[in-house]
Amino acid sequence: KLGAVHKPKYLWIGCADARVPANEIMGEEPGSVFVLRNVANMVVNTDFNLMSALQYAMDVLKIPDIIVCGHYDCGGVRASTKTNDHVAPLENWLRNIRDVYRLHQAELDSISDPEKRHRRLVELNVIEQCINLYKTGSVQRRYMDKTLPYSSPRIHACVFDPKDGILQPLDVDFNKYLNQYYSVYDLYSVYKDNPIPKTQKNLGNVLLKNKEYVNSKKEQDPQFFDKLGAVHKPKYLWIGCADARV
């Protein structure tokens, strides 16, 4: 069955961090999740790897749901808040996260606790990457497809916590942003008169499977997430295809 067809249910845009394996924390079998990963789960318009995969996911695979997932204790997000030159190309990449901080500087600077500020920046970064998806022609063209009973793709903003294994959807009203910026980014006039429905309820099955994943890991090793959250020391760097079967 796996070799016969490639029809994933989800497009996952996540961090390359080894503690955030998409299929496993979603409880999904191979073939279900088309996975794109980079440092700090970014959607950057000059990233031809991501943009070409996004176009393929929308135009060819016609995936109905996109999950943008950040995670707490993100090394990329932490590095972006240090005023050090991390040297190109990494420094160029981290500048995109610094731009997120700039957009939300008043809110972030008002948070005195450094760890709470980090966690909020992780969340705001996820939201901004979702907004970047709404800006793309690939996503907007999919919204023009009237053959589905709902607006597609549905874009979900989520955060994963390696310390407890929980995948948490963020409560975001993307219409607030789209109403503000549609005159700049709406290439096909799809957002002005077509409000985006809230999408958290569409993740119900994923969140249920995530709880099963957490319980299973705790049964095997009660200290599993304590260890997972304590250190990030992967053994391998995997460079592979986004194909959901791999």
Catalytic residues: 15, 17, 19, 71, 74
Backbone phi and psi for residue 67, each to the nearest 5 degrees, phi listed first: -110, 120
* Tokens representing residue 205 in the block: 């099955």
> Alpha carbon 165 to chain centroid distance?
16
b/e string for 88-111 if b means 16 or more Cβ within 10 A? eeeeebbebbeebbeebeeebeee
Quick check: 210 and 27 in contact, CB under 8 A? yes
* Tokens representing residue 239 in the block: 């460079």
Handedness of CA 178, 120, 18, 29 (dihedral sign): negative
Strand partners, 33: 10
Classify 245 as helix, strand or coil: coil
